[in-house]
Amino acid sequence: MEPGSDAERTGTVLMRGELTGQAGWDYAPAPESRDVVTLAGEYGLFIGGEFVPAASGRLLPTVNPATEETLAQVAEAGEADVDRAVAAARDAYERVWGPMPGAERAKYLYRIARLLQERSREFAVLESLDNGKPIKESRDVDVPLAAAHFFYHAGWADKLEHAGFGPSPRPLGVAGQVIPWNFPLLMAAWKLAPALAAGNTCVLKPAETTPLTALLLAEVCQQAGLPPGVVNVTTGAGSAGAALVAHPGVDKVAFTGSTEVGKQIQRAVAGTGKRLTLELGGKAANIVFDDAPVEAAVEGIVNGIFFNQGHVCCAGSRLLVQEPAADAVVGRLRDRLATLRLGDPLDKNTDIGAINSREQLGKIRELSDAGEAEGAERWSPPCELPGRGFWFPPTVFTGVSPSHRIAREEIFGPVLSVLTFRTPGEAVAKANNTPYGLSAGVWTEKGSRILWLAQRLRAGVVWANTYNRFDPASPFGGYRESGFGREGGRHGLGAYLDV
Ligand code: TAP
C-alpha cells in the first residue's frame, strides 16, 4: 500500500502495521501485559483527597487511539467543580501545606517518587493505552523522568533559602495547572513537583484525551498520605481549563499546550496579578553540518522527529543539512526509517505508536497534503497501517522551501521537512526564520562552531550532537511564540516562589 493512498487514508488494511523496507530480521510480537492495569468503568474528579462525581454528573469517554476502544468514562468538571477544587487547595495551603516545614513536605515528595517507581509498569501500560505511545517510551522515558522530577524537587523542599532567591522565599499559594496530551504523566510531574516543593497547593487540569495517568497519580497521592486538598485533579474539556485559569482564587497559572490557547490564557490573566508561565509550541531546526558523523546524526534526526510520533513541542521537525552532506544524510535516513516498526503501542518492539486522536490525525494529514500541494516531495518507507485506530506513517519531505507551510507551522506529528544550507550564517538565518523559539539541535565535530551557533540560535534549549535530552535539573522553556518561564532546575523552582 502506498503511504497517502486511499487505502491508507481510510485505514482499510487490517494487518498490524510494520515498516518492512530493508530490515533483515523479523521480530516476534512481544506484547506487554494489560493485566497490570485495572481500569474502572468510571472515574471521578480528585478534590479534597477524594474521588467525587462532577456536580453536573457529566462524563467524557477516553479512547485507546490504537484501537478506538473506549477505555473509561471520566468526570467532566464544570465551573462549580473547579470552584470546589480551588477552595480545597486554598484550605490545604493555609492550614497544612503552607505552614509545613520543607523537610516534612520533602517526605511526601520522596514517597510519591518511590510509589511511581514501584508502580512504574502500571503507569507505563496505562500511559500507552490512553495516549498511544510505544511502551518502550512510556516505560523508559515518561515514567522514570516523572519519578526523577519528584525526587529532584524533594531535594529542594528543605533548601529553598539556599537556592539564591533570598533568605526566606515564600510560596505563591494556589497553582492552577493545565497540561496537554503528549506527555500526560510527565507534564503532570513537571507541574506538580516544583509547585509542591515550593509550598504551593495545586489544581491540575489534564487533557481531555489523556486523563487516566493523572488520575492514577492522584491515587498515588492518596497512597502517599498527602494531606487532602494539596493536589486536586479536575478532568474535563478546554472549558474546565478556562474556568481554572480565570478563577480568582488561583495565584499562579502554569500552562503547557498550543500557542493559540496560550495567547487566550495570557489575555485572561492580564491585569489580575496572577503569575504566569507558558510552555507552547515549537518548530525546531536540527542542523547537520557536513563534518558531522552521519550515523550519529541520523539517530539524532530520528529521535528528534519520530520519538513520541513527533508529538513533542521541541521536536526537530525541520532538518537543516549542509548541501555537500544532504544526499548522504537523506539516503541514510531513508534506510534507517525502513527499519522502524509501527504498530501496537504495547508491543515492546514498537518504535512508532498511534496518533493520539482522530482530530490530531486530521491536522497532520491536512498539513502533509499542503506540503505536497506546495511542491515538496513526500516520502515514507513501505508501510502497512493497522485498520483500526489513528495512524500516520513516518514521512519525510525534501525540496522544502522556507515559505512552505510544512516549514513554518507546527505539525505535531511524524513528519520531517528537509531544507539545505551552505554556510553557518545561512543555517542560523534559516533556523531563526520562525515565530517560535523553543529548541534546536547542532551536529558537527567542531566545538567552536557549536558555541558560535548556540550564541546565535534563538531557542531556549540548544542540544549539541544529541537531541531530546531531559533532566529535572536542567531548565527547559522557550521564548517568542514558544512562551516564557522555565520548568526544571533552579529556574523552574523560582516560577513557584514569590521572588
Ligand atoms: P491545547 O488546545 O492548547 O490544549 C492544552 C490543554 O489546554 C488541554 O488540557 C486543553 O483541554 C486545555 N485547554 C483548551 N482550551 C483551553 C482554554 N481556552 N483555556 C484553558 N485551557 C484550555 O492543545 P491541544 O488541543 O492538546 O493541541 C493543539 C495543538 O497544540 C497541537 O496540534 C500542537 O500544535 C500544540 N501542542 C503543543 C504542546 C506543547 S508541549 N507545546 C502540547 C500539545 C499540543 P482539552 O484537552 O480538553 O482541549
Neighbours of 182 (CB within 10 A): 24
pTM of the predicted model as reported, rounded to 2 decimal places: 0.94
Mean pLDDT of the 270-274 span: 97
Residue 313 annotated to the active site: yes
Pocket test for ligand 1, best of 59, 62, 178 (most atoms within 8 A of CB): 178
279 is catalytic: yes
Helices (H), 432-488: 447-456
Give pLDDT, residue 476. 96
Protein residue closest via CA to atom 30 of ligand 1: 258
Q: What domains can you pick out in the chain, each with its CATH number?
A: 34-280+479-498 (3.40.605.10), 285-435+439-464 (3.40.309.10)
The Å distance, Cα 179 to ligand 1 centre, comes to 7
- Considering the candidates 313, 314, 384, 487, report the single residue annotated as catalytic: 313
pLDDT recorded at residue 24:
58
Per-residue pLDDT at 18 exceeds 90: no
Give the pLDDT mean for 321-327.
98
- Residue whose CB lies within 8 A of the most ligand 1 atoms, among 261, 266, 359, 367, for a mutation test: 261
Residue 191's pLDDT is: 98
Residue in the structure block whose three cell numbers are 550564517: 425
Task: Tell me: pLDDT of 427 over 70.
Answer: yes
User: Does 21 have pLDDT greater than 90?
Assistant: no
Q: How far is the CA of 317 from the centre of ligand 1 (A)?
A: 19
Q: What is the pLDDT of residues 46-86, one digit of tens each?
A: 999 999 999 999 999 999 999 999 999 999 999 999 999 99
**pLDDT at residue 15, as a whole number:** 35
Ligand 1 atom closest to the Cα of residue 281 is 41
Mean pLDDT across the chain: 94
Cα separation, 247 vs 250, in Å, equals: 6
Top mutation candidate among 182, 210, 247, 258 for ligand 1, by most atoms within 8 Å of CB: 258
pLDDT digits (tens, 9 = 90+) for 440-480: 999 999 999 999 999 999 999 999 999 999 999 999 999 89
Q: 28: CA distance to ligand 1 center in Å?
A: 37
pLDDT exceeds cutoff 70 at 20: no
427 alpha-carbon distance from chain centroid = 27
219 φ, ψ to 5°? -65, -40
Q: How confident is the model at residue 499 (pLDDT cuts 50, 70, 90)?
A: confident
Does 231 have pLDDT greater than 50?
yes
Residue type, 233: V
Could you tell me the pLDDT band of residue 8, with boundaries at 50, 70 and 90?
very low
Ligand 1: nearest atom to the Cα of 280: 41
Determine which residue's CA is closest to atom 48 belonging to ligand 1.
238
Predicted confidence (pLDDT) at residue 316 exceeds the cutoff of 60: yes
The rounded Å distance from CA 139 to ligand 1 centre is 24
Tell me the mean pLDDT in the region 358-382: 97
Q: From the candidates 18, 32, 279, 384, give the one annotated as an active-site residue.
A: 279
Tens-digit pLDDT profile for residues 85-130: 999 999 999 999 999 999 999 999 999 999 999 999 999 999 999 9
10: pLDDT strictly greater than 80: no
Which secondary-structure segment (H or E) carries 246? helix 238-246
Residue 392 binned pLDDT confidence (cut-offs 50, 70, 90): very high
Ligand 1 neighbours by CB, cut-off 6 Å: 178-182, 205, 207-208, 237-238, 241-242, 245, 256-258, 261, 264-265, 279-281, 313, 360, 363, 410, 412
Determine the distance separating the centroid of ligand 1 and the alpha carbon of 281, expressed in angstroms: 10
What is the identity of the amino acid at 98? G
398-417 pLDDT, tens per residue?
Answer: 999 999 999 999 999 999 99
Classify 489 as helix, strand or coil: helix
- Alpha carbon nearest to ligand 1 atom 12, residue: 238
Alpha helices in 11-98 (DSSP H): 79-92
Percent of the chain with pLDDT over 70: 95
Section 474-496 average pLDDT? 95
pLDDT range class, residue 383, cuts 50, 70, 90 = confident
